[in-house]
Amino acid sequence: MKRNGFTMIELIVSIGLIALIGTLVVANMGNVLSGEKDKQYKEFIATIQNAACTFVDVDKTKKNQCCPNNKCVGKTCSVTVEQILNKGLIEEKDLIDPKTKTSVKVTDSVSVSFPSGVKTCEYTPTSH
């Protein structure tokens, strides 16, 4: 006599396999999302650094000039987030930290240096 349906062991094995596959998918999604957040954070930092480097090039007022008379080697200065924001080189929406979802402080600064005559901009956000 032939019976239709599944045995209890077949059902348990099938449910176990589905649970295992579901666990692997969820674990991998976490890694994908984490990698995306890291990428967004690096882009966030680069946006602020690039804006500060641009500020040094376009703002030639005596008070803010980092490289007077094109004698840059060894010079270092700071550019605040507020300065680059006021100059229109960055927008408010670009100042939202993708990790914390909070806005950076306008008093944060970007260090601009010319160690060998090449401009380098380094931004490290302060803790909120």
Tens of pLDDT, residues 15-24 = 999 999 988 8
pLDDT at position 51 is 93
pLDDT at position 49 is 93
Tens of pLDDT, residues 61-110 = 655 567 666 666 777 888 889 999 998 999 999 898 888 888 888 899 89
Q: Is the pTM of this model over 0.75?
A: no
Helix, strand, coil percentages, rounded to 5, for the chain: 50, 10, 40
Does an H or E element contain 3, and which?
A: none
Any idea what the Cα angle at residue 33 is, between residues 27 and 35, rounded to 5°? 105
Q: How high is the mean pLDDT of the chain? A: 83
pLDDT at position 75 is 79
79 touches 109 (CB < 8 A): yes
